[in-house]
Structure 1
Amino acid sequence: MDFSAVKALTFDVFGTVVDWRTSIAREVDAFARSHGLGLDGHAFADAWRSLYQPSMEEVRSGARPWTRLDDLHRESLLTLLDRFGVTGIPEEEIDRLNRAWHRLDPWPDVVEGLTRLKSKFVIATLSNGNVALMVNMAKRAGLPWDAILGAEVARAYKPQPRAYEAAAELLGLAPAQCMMVAAHNADLHAAAKSGLRTAFVARPTEHGPGQTRDLAVEPGIELAADSFTDLADKLGC
């Protein structure tokens, strides 16, 4: 398949670039130890993530005005602390735990792969994470983005078309000159509907050892890779 027209790669981040589940579990376990709580970090991480799409859907549906992901995450965290029976935590410590999403670790292949891909393409985030979250994550993890784009910039949460279209516009490119890279087939199908090219990178343990979805690329996605370094190989970087 000919990808010679592609000038930019736009990346989903949570799950594709960073291992959110392991990272959040680590932070929750540390939080639990410091407060003498019997929380299971992985169970808490899964519960927190389960509120991710429902919280954004309230914004996508127009039920509430634009709200950045940091604020949605904090609302979800308060819900979970109550559900898990955790009380009496100072506000500043709740804020620190909420910012665990700013401190997610990349998958092992990511920094090398992004560095190689950057030698040939513009590389940018196209995440539902807000700008401060993406910047802080990149600074900590050494992610060499050329631009931070996505939901907050577009004022639209994926999979709304505007999220994808705005990224191409801001890069001064046609959608077909951008390739969306993600570990989630649904994200890629939505990007394709907006005219972007598509590449699937498998992350079979994003949701833990029992993951059942997004284990393989689906029909209609143009390129599949096992890692960012494999993607770099396939795109000639």
Structure 2
Amino acid sequence: MIEDPFEQVAFLGFDVFGTVVDWRSSVTRLAEPFLRRHGVHVDPYRFADEWRALYQPAMERVRSGERPWVKLDVLNRENLETVLSRHGVDVGQIPETELIDLNLAWERLDPWPDSVEGLTRLKRRFAIGPISNGHMAGMMKLARFGGLPWDIIVGAEVAKSYKPQPETYLKSAAAVGLPPERIAMVAAHNEDLAAARALGFRTVFVRRPREHGPAQTSDLEPRSNWDVIAGSLLEVAEVLGCG
């Protein structure tokens, strides 16, 4: 009889941006009226991509110790002002309420079509929650917006570190009261899964080939023999016996 590698797993931790929600289309949709209103002549998809492109470099400054820990909404706001300035916008002339509202786009991201049903089915067997770089309030508001049925929110703010630093995974595991071998990381990003596996987590790779749009080149395929490889969260639920 083949042993079920998930028999002892009690918690599924999810990457959120890209794996559970479609950040690119959502940010584009929410940024377009702002850009039009202020005469910013840039394609909204390009704007979303440029904003997102600053995500990892901003976190790396925290990971490297170059700057103290700050929550992701702070980094997103700084990055927003950087992108606007690149396109000739005098950020000081934009009403603060509008900048705040646009930065909240990251809390109003649409789930992928399979996400809510897939999570609901997985929740029948496992406790579920994000192990995300997002801050806790943002994750809560995103869950309320998209109907994401989390049991708990852990991740970067709990650990005061950003993935793929080991502390983000290990302190999240401690927060849910489980050793790493009883947790599986679910992500559309090979780097995330590699970091989790190195600490003893089980791994689930979900293909999201349009996270970065039709010309995406990254994470199109698994780069290792992850425990589960699937094309959607519904398929993950099927593989893990969550009918």
Whether these two folds match at TM > 0.5 is yes
1:129: which partner in 2? Answer: 134
Q: Give the superposed CA RMSD.
A: 0.9
Structure 1: gaps of 5 or more residues: none
2:162: which partner in 1? Answer: 157
The Cα shift of 1:157 comes to: 0.3
CA distance in structure 2 between the partners assigned to 1:75 and 1:37 by the alignment: 18
2:53: which partner in 1? Answer: 50
The Cα shift of 1:20 comes to: 0.4
Secondary structure at the counterpart of residue 168 of structure 1? helix
- The answer (yes or no) to whether the contact 2:40–2:87 under 8 Å persists in 1 is no
The Cα shift of 1:139 comes to: 0.3
Runs of 4 or more consecutive aligned structure 1 residues displaced over 4 Å after TM superposition = none
2:174: which partner in 1? Answer: 169
2:65: which partner in 1? Answer: 62
CA distance in structure 1 between the partners assigned to 2:35 and 2:63 by the alignment: 33
CA distance in structure 1 between the partners assigned to 2:94 and 2:111 by the alignment: 29
CA distance in structure 2 between the partners assigned to 1:162 and 1:14 by the alignment: 19
Which residue identity does 2:69 align to in structure 1?
Answer: W
CA distance in structure 2 between the partners assigned to 1:228 and 1:220 by the alignment: 18
Which residue among 2, 5, 11 is the counterpart of 1:2? 5
TM-score by length of 2: 0.95
Q: C-alpha offsets along residues 84-134 of structure 1, whole Å, 9 cap, x if unaligned?
A: 112221111111111110100000000000000001100010000001110
CA distance in structure 2 between the partners assigned to 1:66 and 1:35 by the alignment: 33
CA distance in structure 2 between the partners assigned to 1:124 and 1:152 by the alignment: 14
Secondary structure at the counterpart of residue 126 of structure 1? strand
Secondary structure at the counterpart of residue 80 of structure 1? helix
Secondary structure at the counterpart of residue 213 of structure 2? coil
- Once the two structures are superposed, the pairs formed by residues 175-214 of structure 1 within 5 Å of their partners are 175-214=180-219
- The answer (yes or no) to whether the contact 1:29–1:39 under 8 Å persists in 2 is no
Structure 2: gaps of 5 or more residues: none
Which residue identity does 1:233 align to in structure 2?
Answer: E
Which residue identity does 2:201 align to in structure 1?
Answer: L
Query: Are positions 1:98 and 2:103 aligned together?
Result: yes
The Cα shift of 1:36 comes to: 3.4
2:120: which partner in 1? Answer: 115
- Once the two structures are superposed, the pairs formed by residues 83-94 of structure 1 within 5 Å of their partners are 83-87=86-90, 88-94=93-99
CA distance in structure 1 between the partners assigned to 2:36 and 2:50 by the alignment: 19
CA distance in structure 1 between the partners assigned to 2:16 and 2:44 by the alignment: 21
CA distance in structure 2 between the partners assigned to 1:127 and 1:91 by the alignment: 27
- The answer (yes or no) to whether the contact 2:184–2:203 under 8 Å persists in 1 is yes
TM-score by length of 1: 0.98
